[in-house]
Structure 1
């Protein structure tokens, strides 16, 4: 298992690490600041550096079933051999955009208190799908969403034992928290949101900036897709 430093501090932009594997699947480090694709959030991009060499990383994925984090290079180039010490550095501008977006979607879920059937996060436009029969008003949602953002609510996380997870906290219908791992990470915005989430988030809601609900789509008899952009 790779030590996932981002799980405890999403603001780390780089770290030193040791290569444990390097091959066609990608590069595995003993620890990393790179977030792997999951929970609707894209994998991080960035670079690995050692000596005078810089290797561009275009995606990050988690390998199953062992949970190792794979850093995927942009092309078939010489990889750092095992036991090499490298500096792992993420594309911070992209990551921070994802952090703002991810936190914004938690607030969107707090405004629309319906089961979540799907979602996707990107740097420019994100969405959540809700089990909701009628289309909500875009302007009303935007106003409530920005009121929560401007309030500057603190955003934190904490770990609990898997057996202590209250099933009522699980809002996503299509994706469930991992089982058999022993611990579950909760995202907490006091008085606003509390749910299992392994993604990266900002420390305060006012870091998100202004958000706009730009579109609400009907994706089924009881499914509405809500699209959000950030200024």
Structure 2
């Protein structure tokens, strides 16, 4: 039996709850509704390997790709832009058996317990350590969105692991960082043991900003359509240092300035009006209906996709974090629209 006390920040809310789970063994993962269990064959994360296979086959790009309209956000696995930290190489962590995929619990707001840790000191270039949990509330970098940061605290409170970066590899989420007091014990994170309960605390302000930026990118898609610009989305970059979205197709040069003004006006009118943002996992058929009748071909029909829907607009598959209401995006400014080599790039910013 493992009793989990969960206290973490997620966007605009904080969750404090206690859960009790009965585990058949110290290394078995908790069977959470809607996610992988040891024998599950149908789960939202089932097609994650397909997403990463697409990324491996795709040529390297300085910014991540959006495949088609409705495919924004992680786990379509857009790579980070040049101004973001480069992805780390494979961590030199020694596990006695292959690791299972890590359910992303920020998708449904549930707690997590630590069930596996590499033998010795898991190391990464630069001295970074990686902690792997049976599940996580941290958003890994991907889909044009930066990683969450925060802290992982042992049940006793004696060990605090500062999470500085989060990446996903083959469905396994690696939390990179350092222990707050490296001098304690042997400095190798011995305070964390298999099956131990831990508390995950996400940096709420960083999560909120990332969510606003990501939602703003989705909103601009709808605004483009409202203005009669039916262009196919290409790349998306939702980092604070210069967010932008790109579209395959061009806006006539003599219309760029007018469209820039109209796009900003349309976006802020929708933000001022406000509308609830629906984020949930659905059976495949229901998800397809919410997305206008069809889903991208790479999404398995046996899966239960996570859909993000803004008001009355069609939804789209997305694994990123978003605001609860369009109004939470705040004032949006379209800073530039430019066309180059058949691609229209819309740069934007939001008030802090």
Give the aligned CA root-mean-square deviation in angstroms.
2.8
* Aligned with residue 150 of structure 1, among 272, 276, 291: 272
Q: Structure 1's 39 and 179: CA in aligned 2 closer, same or farther, altered over 3 A? A: farther
Mapped contact 1:125–1:230 kept (Cα < 8 A)? no
CA distance in 1, matches of 2:311, 2:199: 36
CA distance in 2, matches of 1:177, 1:30: 26
CA distance in 2, matches of 1:156, 1:35: 18
After superposition, where does 1:20-35 map in structure 2 within 5 Å? 20-22=116-118, 23-24=122-123, 26-35=130-139
* Aligned with residue 201 of structure 2, among 61, 73, 89: 89
SS, match of residue 21 in structure 1:
coil
CA distance in 1, matches of 2:309, 2:290: 15
Q: Could you give the per-residue CA deviations for residues 153-199 of structure 1, whole angstroms, max 9, x where no partner exists?
A: 100123233466649949xxxx9855477221111113224111111
User: Match for residue 142 of structure 2?
Assistant: 38
Gaps of 5+ in 1: none
User: Match for residue 105 of structure 2?
Assistant: 5
Matched, 1:213 2:334: yes
Deviation at 1:124, TM superposition (A): 4.6
Deviation at 1:129, TM superposition (A): 0.5
* Aligned with residue 118 of structure 1, among 235, 245, 256: 235
Matched, 1:70 2:70: no
CA distance in 2, matches of 1:207, 1:30: 32
After superposition, where does 1:189-228 map in structure 2 within 5 Å? 189-220=310-341, 222-228=342-348
> With structure 2 as the length reference, what TM-score do the two structures score?
0.56
Mapped contact 1:158–1:187 kept (Cα < 8 A)? yes
Deviation at 1:139, TM superposition (A): 1.4
* Range with bigger deviation, 176-185 or 105-114: 176-185
Q: Could you give the per-residue CA deviations for residues 97-141 of structure 1, whole angstroms, max 9, x where no partner exists?
A: 011111111110001132111111113531111112126422111
Higher strand share: 1
User: Match for residue 350 of structure 2?
Assistant: 230
Mapped contact 1:177–1:196 kept (Cα < 8 A)? no
* Range with bigger deviation, 82-91 or 158-167: 158-167
CA distance in 2, matches of 1:92, 1:176: 34
SS, match of residue 32 in structure 1:
coil
Mapped contact 1:19–1:27 kept (Cα < 8 A)? no
Deviation at 1:218, TM superposition (A): 2.5
Mapped contact 1:124–1:229 kept (Cα < 8 A)? no
CA distance in 2, matches of 1:16, 1:229: 34
Gaps of 5+ in 2: 1-100, 125-129, 226-230
> With structure 1 as the length reference, what TM-score do the two structures score?
0.83
CA distance in 2, matches of 1:178, 1:59: 27
* Aligned with residue 221 of structure 2, among 105, 109, 116: 109
SS, match of residue 182 in structure 1:
coil
* Aligned with residue 303 of structure 2, among 182, 185, 196: 182
